[in-house]
Structures are given as structure tokens and as C-alpha cells.
């Protein structure tokens, strides 16, 4: 037997029902928020992620699936959705669209060569949103309120938004300098990853998993002390609008995020659950006002978020949240001989085209077994075909709950169901 690769999942049975439900809710919300659907390739030129997500991020340093294609091109399976959407925004000149800001939503599988564990997969699905062209804090608040409204609608209420500002370029450069000066004498006491980060991306030292509880990091200078007036005002407004929208948040000054492109607002949404451990972060995002220009597009402010579907499925299961699932079918069509079978095939399509969930015996079962199968499907109505009835253009229909049965004109079947279901 060939098994699935490590860190991947088969979405089957209940999990696939949850998956579909989550993506349907997500799509419905994005449409209400007036976002447009976008699909970008699963693989892109490796350079996009090196320049986009960032050479110093753990994702690009250690986790990408890179390969050369048969034309000797360097290709990477996307580890996240933002860089591809930004590439598409620039390549398709969406910055010149009449309607601005450009608001896009997407879904898709992402690939990271992580150590597989609960909630951490090598292939996982993200649902995400990116907005281009507005630097208004109301858009930051919208990007945070959208996933919260989606979680609530799924029945997940115990969430908390952790939020921070990484400031604009100048604020961040000043802060990086101060942080490096502070960290320098302590470097020998920090882990090897932090020593590497010191040169390439000192901010990432702040959310090091190994050293996070050390006094060195606890006493480090805070980014809030280095924010420019504009960045301070931006954060204040985002928080004000979140209050207005009644979104719970907690400022977390050590939140810097694992991708290099963020500016100003960054956030992570956690679900309050002990069982989930590291995988309790069910969505995250932030502003990335420099990414479009650093990938050779025009200077364009942008903000976005993505949520992990696989983690949401685990939570819905763990908390035993019931979702509305259609467990029954509308009609089951029964027949015995070939003439009846042909009529059954025809009627089955007719009903499906008229919006009914209809099923038919395809295992050559006798009539008794077909009754049993109809019950297993929880069919609401049984359509029992009998070639004798055909001569008078009649068919027998049976309410499978009340067990009442009547003969109706074949031509009236759809109308009959429209009135009864
Ligand atoms: P991220 O924090 O890397 O951000 O991922 C977003 C979400 O994807 C996480 O909160 C988590 O739920 C899920 N996720 C990440 N890695 C895994 C994994 N290995 N297995 C299962 N689920 C995972 C981004 O990807 C950014 N592109 C978000 C963004 C959009 N920022 C701006 N726009």
C-alpha cells in the first residue's frame, strides 16, 4: 500500500463536510464584504518568495519546497498566498482598475516543509484576503473584523486578537538599531537561531520560541517607544475602530510575525484552547505597504490576512460544534426491469436538473434491498416505478416518513415535489 506523504491529510468523511462548510461561510462573507475571487498558481518563480516573503524568514530559509523544472527554472511551491496575489496585482496592472481599493479573496493549498505535528502540516489550506490601495485604518479594522465574524458564524467565540505595530520604515530602522545595541552583549546567551537573526532580521529575536521567556527579551526595548507619529496615530485609529466594532484585542509588543513583508499593523488571532498548543493561532495577517513597490510595482499600501482551514476543522471537531449538514436526500427512484430502469435514469436526471437530490439503484439490487438502501440514504420520497403504470403515464410516489403512497401523473412529478418538499 502506498501511504500519503508525511504532513499531508486526506479530507474525507466528516472532515470534508467541515471543510466545505468553512469555505462556504468564508466565501459568503467575502462576497458580503464586496471582495472579488482570485486564483493564482500553486507554484511560482522561487525569486518571488525570496524577495516577497523574505530571505531571512524561517519559511524561505528552511521550509520551502524548491525544485528545478524540466526547463531548468527555479520553482517553489507557494508557502503562503500573499506574494502570488501581489505578483498578480502588479502583472495584471490592477493598480489602474477604476474601482479602488482592489479587494481580493482566495483559497488554496500552501506548502511548508515543517516538522509535522498537531495543526502543523506540510500541505495545508488557507483562506485569505488582500486589499490594495488604501492606507486607511478602517481597512485594517475590516481585515481583522472579517475573520472574527467568520469564526463567530462558525460557532467559535473564544478568540482573541493579538495586535502590534511594526511601524513605518523609519520607525523600524530606528528600533532595529536600538534593539541590536541592547542585544549585542547578550548574544552569547541566546540560541543559535537568534544569533543568526541578529544580523539578518533582529526583530524576529523577539518572538523566538526558545528564548521567549528569558529576562533578556522581557527587558528589551519596546517598538512602541520608536514609532513615528504617523504610525502611532495609525495604530490608535485601528484600535478605536476595533472598539467600535466590538472586537476583543490585546496589544502584544513582542508580536513581529514570521514573514518579512509587514509594516505597521500586524495581528494574530488565537483560540483559547489548551489542547491545541502552538496550533491555536487560527488566522493572522497585517499591513505590507512596501511589498508591491519592492516587487517593482507602484507604491501601493496593502493589508491582508489568511486563516488555516485545517486548524479550524480540528477546533470544530474538538468543541463538537454542530454545523448544518444535509444528511438526507429528496428522492430515491426504484425499479426492477430494464424498461423501468430506463425511465428511472431519465427521471433521476429530470429531478436533479430541477434542484432535487436524487439517487438511484446502481448495484442491481432487488426491490426489498432498494427499500433498505432508500432508508440508509434517508430519502424523503420513494418513486416506485412499475411498467404496468407506464401505460397510463402514472408513477407511484411514497412519502417515506408517513408511508402514505399515491399514484400521480408522471408529468406532474416535479410540481408534486415542489409542493411537498
Ligand atoms: P501565516 O501566519 O504564515 O500568514 O499563516 C496564516 C495561517 O495559516 C496561520 O494562522 C495558520 O492558521 C495557518 N497555517 C500556517 N502554517 C500552517 C501549517 N504548517 N499547517 C497548518 N496551518 C498553517 C500568512 O501566510 C500570510 N500570508 C497572511 C497574510 C495575508 N498576511 C497578509 N496577508
Is the pLDDT at 287 greater than 80? The verdict is: yes
Digit-coded pLDDT (tens) for 48-105: 999 988 888 889 989 999 999 999 999 999 999 999 999 999 999 999 999 999 999 9
Supply the pLDDT for residue 106: 98
Cα-based distances in Å from 30 to 23, 145, 268? 10, 12, 19
Fold classification of 331-420 is Rossmann fold (3.40.50)
Ligand 1 atom 11: residue of nearest CA: 308
Q: Is the pLDDT score of 274 beyond 80? A: no
Task: State in Å: Cα 156 to ligand 1 middle.
Answer: 18
Question: Which residues lie with the beta carbon below 6 Å from any ligand 1 atom?
Answer: 80-82, 112, 114, 119-121, 124, 126, 128, 130, 258-259, 281-286, 304-308, 310-311
Condensed to tens digits (0 to 9), the pLDDT of residues 92-141 reads 999 999 999 999 999 999 999 999 988 899 999 999 999 999 999 999 99
% of the chain residues with pLDDT over 90? 82
- What local confidence, expressed as pLDDT, does residue 86 receive? 98
Q: Which fold has domain 13-168+246-318?
A: BirA Bifunctional Protein; domain 2 (3.30.930)
Residue 206 predicted with pLDDT over 90: no
- The atom number, within ligand 1, closest to the CA of 285 reads 31
Q: Give the Å distance between the CA of 128 and the centre of ligand 1.
A: 9
Distance 130 CA to ligand 1 centre (A): 13
Residue 46 has a pLDDT of 97
- Enumerate residues 6+ apart whose C-beta is below 8 A from 134: 100, 101, 301, 303
**Residue % of the chain over a pLDDT of 70:** 100
User: Judging by DSSP bridges, how do beta strands 331-334 and 381-384 pair with one another?
Assistant: parallel
> Which residue minimizes the CA distance to atom 33 of ligand 1?
304
354-385 residue pLDDT tens: 999 999 999 999 999 999 999 999 999 999 99
For ligand 1, what atom is nearest to the CA of residue 287?
32
Residue 259: per-residue pLDDT: 86
- Measured in angstroms, how far is the CA atom of residue 281 from the centroid of ligand 1? 9
Which is it for the CA torsion 290, 291, 297, 301, positive or negative? Answer: negative
- Tens of pLDDT, residue by residue over 223-273, are 999 999 999 999 999 999 999 999 999 999 989 888 889 999 999 999 988
Long-range contacts at 336-339 (CB < 8 A, ≥ 24 apart): 336/366, 336/367, 336/385, 337/387, 339/387, 339/390
Model confidence band, residue 405 (pLDDT cutoffs 50, 70, 90): very high
CB 354 within 8 A of CB 372: no
Select from 11, 65, 80 the residue to mutate for testing ligand 1; criterion: most ligand atoms less than 8 Å from CB.
80
Contacting residues for 255 by C-beta, under 8 A, at least 6 apart: 162, 163, 164, 207, 266, 267, 268
- For ligand 1, atom 30, name the residue with the nearest CA: 305
The model carries a pTM of 0.94
Q: At what angle do helices 309-318 and 137-154 cross, to 10 degrees?
A: 40
**Residues forming a β-bridge with 274:** none
Closest CA to 291 of 163, 201, 169, 198: 169
Quick check: 302 pLDDT over 90?
yes
State the DSSP code for 80: S
Residue with cell 416505478: 385
Model confidence at 215: pLDDT above 90: no
- Testing ligand 1's pocket by substitution, the residue of 143, 258, 288, 311 carrying the most ligand atoms inside 8 A of its CB is 311
Cα–ligand 1 centroid distance for 355 (angstroms): 37
Residue 222 CA to residue 218 CA, distance in Å, equals 9
pLDDT of 216 strictly over 90: no
The CA 308 to ligand 1 mean position distance, Å, reads: 6
| pLDDT score for 351 | 98
**CATH 3.30.930.10 domain span(s) along the chain:** 13-168+246-318
Amino acid at each position: 500500500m502506498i501511504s500519503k506523504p508525511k504532513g499531508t491529510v486526506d479530507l474525507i468523511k466528516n472532515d470534508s463536510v467541515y471543510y466545505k462548510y468553512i469555505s462556504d461561510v468564508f466565501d459568503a462573507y467575502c462576497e458580503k464584504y464586496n471582495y472579488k475571487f482570485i486564483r493564482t498558481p500553486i507554484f511560482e518563480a522561487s525569486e518571488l518568495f525570496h524577495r516577497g516573503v523574505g530571505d531571512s524568514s524561517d519559511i524561505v530559509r528552511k521550509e520551502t519546497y524548491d525544485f528545478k523544472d524540466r526547463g531548468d527554472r527555479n520553482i517553489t511551491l507557494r508557502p503562503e498566498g500573499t506574494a502570488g496575489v501581489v505578483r498578480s496585482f502588479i502583472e495584471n496592472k490592477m493598480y489602474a482598475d477604476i474601482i479602488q481599493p482592489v479587494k481580493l479573496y482566495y483559497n488554496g493549498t500552501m506548502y511548508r516543509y515543517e516538522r509535522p505535528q498537531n495543526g502543523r502540516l506540510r500541505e495545508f489550506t488557507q483562506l485569505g484576503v488582500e486589499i490594495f490601495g488604501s492606507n486607511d485604518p478602517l481597512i485594517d479594522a475590516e481585515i481583522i473584523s472579517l475573520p472574527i465574524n467568520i469564526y463567530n458564524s462558525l460557532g467559535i467565540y473564544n478568540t482573541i486578537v493579538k495586535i502590534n505595530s511594526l511601524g513605518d520604515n523609519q520607525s523600524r530602522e530606528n528600533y532595529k538599531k536600538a534593539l541590536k545595541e541592547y542585544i549585542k552583549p547578550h548574544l552569547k546567551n541566546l540560541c543559535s537561531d537568534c544569533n543568526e537573526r541578529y544580523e539578518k532580521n533582529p526583530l524576529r529575536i523577539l518572538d523566538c520560541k526558545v528564548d521567549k521567556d528569558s529576562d533578556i527579551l522581557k527587558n528589551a526595548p519596546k517598538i512602541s517607544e520608536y514609532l513615528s507619529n504617523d504610525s502611532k496615530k495609525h495604530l490608535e485609529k485601528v484600535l478605536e475602530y476595533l472598539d467600535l466594532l466590538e472586537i476583543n484585542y490585546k496589544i502584544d509588543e513582542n508580536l513581529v510575525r514570521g514573514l518579512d513583508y509587514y509594516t505597521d499593523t500586524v495581528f494574530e488571532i488565537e483560540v483559547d484552547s489548551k489542547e491545541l498548543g502552538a496550533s491555536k493561532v487560527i488566522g493572522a495577517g497585517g499591513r505590507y505597504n512596501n511589498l508591491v513597490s519592492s516587487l517593482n510595482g507602484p507604491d501601493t499600501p496593502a493589508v491582508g490576512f489568511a486563516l488555516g482551514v485545517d486548524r479550524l476543522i480540528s477546533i470544530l471537531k474538538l468543541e463538537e460544534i454542530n454545523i448544518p449538514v444535509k444528511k438526507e436526500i429528496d428522492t430515491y427512484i426504484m425499479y426492477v426491469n430494464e424498461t423501468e430502469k430506463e425511465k428511472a435514469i431519465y427521471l433521476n436526471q429530470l429531478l436533479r436538473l430541477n434542484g432535487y437530490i436524487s439517487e438511484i439503484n446502481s448495484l442491481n439490487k432487488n426491490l426489498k434491498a432498494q427499500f433498505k438502501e432508500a432508508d440508509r440514504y434517508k430519502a424523503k420520497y420513494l418513486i416506485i416505478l412499475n411498467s404496468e403504470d407506464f401505460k397510463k403515464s402514472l408513477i407511484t410516489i411514497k412519502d417515506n416518513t408517513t408511508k402514505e403512497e399515491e399514484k400521480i401523473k408522471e408529468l406532474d412529478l416535479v410540481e408534486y415535489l415542489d409542493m411537498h418538499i
